[in-house]
């Protein structure tokens, strides 16, 4: 196991926060419940033992333990950031006409649209992450991303990830093609939206951009930096670049808070109490506004598709550091 604060090594670093991360890592690496995602064949090859935790504070300090340099595909965590770009491209009012913000308590892959409006319920489930923008003839929360043709849209999306992460990012071509060739359920959702007139043209192009978005490679520190950028009014705390317009942060965090953890979102909000998003890669990001971003990676998933160790680590961090947004019990937040 490797553990590190951004300066110095564990032996000389007195950081209590790093000590907490080390303790949680040692404790939960023994937890071997859950299974790796298998429905995208390439994802099934991941080493189930991998485990890393990283915290990045809004003033740019980095605390990390475990396999934090291991790259993996971002999967559904990308939906948060695609939603932010769609908001920047079109504004809140328009995006709301295309994708709702109602928590459904459904699994990410639920094939379900709002009966009345025919909108996907929210942008954190797959249908919501793929809805259409007819007037501009471009596709998704993913299709809402502007650009002339698939290359420009992909490049705008990659550039958005670059701003959040602070380095150039790439799509894992094997995971992308693996999902594209087996993503029949996502294809079925796209056809359902076509049936309701929510998508009116090239479904395969919309799906390709969505599959590429899911196959962007990140490591655990990247997750924490992205989360810290959301915690820091949209400014990457390491590079100081504005990654997303600060006016949309509250919209992004609200939808993460209510919809970010699939059919565990309610319990998560109740117990852990911080905006978060998970993906079937085994990653979780959690955002403590004005304080820090948390990233956890462990590919063993529970039946809802959330990382088993990731949920446990976030639960403990929330308790130990008093991070629950509505904790008014008089206890001072232990992290300052
Ligand atoms: N690419 C995956 C899919 O759409 C992402 C799912 C997830 O991470 N929950 O099926």
* Per-residue pLDDT reduced to its tens digit, 182-229: 988 888 888 877 777 766 567 888 889 999 999 999 999 999 999 999
Greater confidence (100 vs 26) lies with: 26
Residue 129 Cα to ligand 1 midpoint, Å, equals 10
Residue 128 Cβ contacting ligand 1 at under 6 Å: no
Given ligand 1 and candidates 126, 140, 185, which is best to mutate, with the most ligand atoms within 8 Å of its CB? 126
In eight-state DSSP terms, residue 14 is: -
Given ligand 1 and candidates 107, 108, 124, 306, which is best to mutate, with the most ligand atoms within 8 Å of its CB? 108
Half-sphere exposure of residue 244, counting CA atoms within 13 Å on the CB side? 32
Residue 203 Cβ contacting ligand 1 at under 6 Å: no
> How far, in Å, CA of 27 to CA of 168, rounded?
34
* Domains of the chain with bracketed CATH: 3-74+217-330 (3.40.710.10), 78-214 (3.40.710.10)
> How far, in Å, CA of 223 to CA of 287, rounded?
10
Chain mean pLDDT for the chain: 87
Sign of CA dihedral 217, 275, 227, 131: positive
Residue 11 Cα to ligand 1 midpoint, Å, equals 40
Question: Which residues face 139 on adjacent strands?
Answer: 132
Task: Give the pLDDT confidence of 4-51 residue by residue, as tens digits.
Answer: 765 434 444 558 999 999 999 999 999 999 999 998 999 999 999 999
Residue 332 Cα to ligand 1 midpoint, Å, equals 38
No. of helices (H) and no. of strands (E), the chain: 11, 10
Residue 307 above 60 pLDDT?
Answer: yes
Given ligand 1 and candidates 41, 109, 176, 223, which is best to mutate, with the most ligand atoms within 8 Å of its CB? 109
Region 155-177: what's the mean pLDDT? Answer: 98
Angle (nearest 5°) at CA 208 between 185 and 252: 85
pLDDT at residue number 325:
95
Which residue from 60, 80, 81 is spatially nearest to 240, judged by alpha carbons? 60
10 Å CB burial of residue 60 (0-12, 13-18, 19+) is: middle
């Amino acid at each position: 196991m490797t553990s590190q604060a951004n300066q110095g090594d564990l032996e000389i670093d007195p950081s209590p926060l790093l000590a907490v991360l080390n303790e949680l890592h040692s404790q939960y690496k023994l937890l071997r419940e859950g299974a790796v995602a298998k429905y995208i064949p390439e994802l099934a090859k991941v080493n189930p033992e991998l485990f890393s935790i990283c915290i990045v504070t809004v003033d740019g300090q980095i605390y990390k333990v475990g396999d934090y340099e291991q790259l993996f595909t971002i999967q559904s965590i990308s939906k948060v950031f695609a939603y932010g770009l769609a908001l920047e491209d079109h504004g809140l009012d328009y995006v709301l006409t295309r994708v709702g913000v109602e928590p459904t308590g459904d699994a990410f892959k639920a094939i379900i649209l709002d009966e009345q409006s025919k909108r996907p319920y929210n942008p954190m489930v797959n249908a919501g992450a793929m809805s259409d923008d007819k007037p501009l003839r471009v596709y998704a929360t993913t299709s809402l991303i502007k650009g002339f043709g698939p290359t420009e849209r992909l490049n705008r999306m990659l550039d958005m990830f670059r701003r959040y992460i602070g380095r150039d990012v790439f799509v894992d071509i094997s995971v992308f093609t693996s999902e594209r060739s087996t993503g029949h359920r996502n294809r079925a959702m796209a056809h359902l939206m076509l049936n309701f007139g929510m998508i009116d043209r090239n479904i395969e192009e919309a799906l390709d951009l969505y599959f590429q978005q899911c196959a962007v490679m990140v490591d655990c520190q990247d997750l924490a930096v992205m989360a810290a950028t959301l915690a820091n009014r949209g400014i990457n705390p390491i590079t100081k670049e504005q990654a997303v317009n600060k006016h949309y942060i509250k919209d992004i965090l609200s939808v993460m808070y209510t919809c970010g953890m699939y059919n565990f979102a309610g319990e998560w909000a109740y117990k852990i109490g911080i905006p978060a998003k998970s993906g079937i890669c085994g990653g979780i990001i959690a955002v403590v506004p004005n304080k820090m971003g948390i990233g956890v990676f462990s590919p063993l998933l529970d039946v809802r598709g959330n990382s088993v160790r990731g949920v446990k680590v976030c639960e403990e961090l929330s308790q130990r550091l008093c991070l629950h947004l509505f904790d008014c019990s008089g206890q001072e937040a232990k992290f300052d």
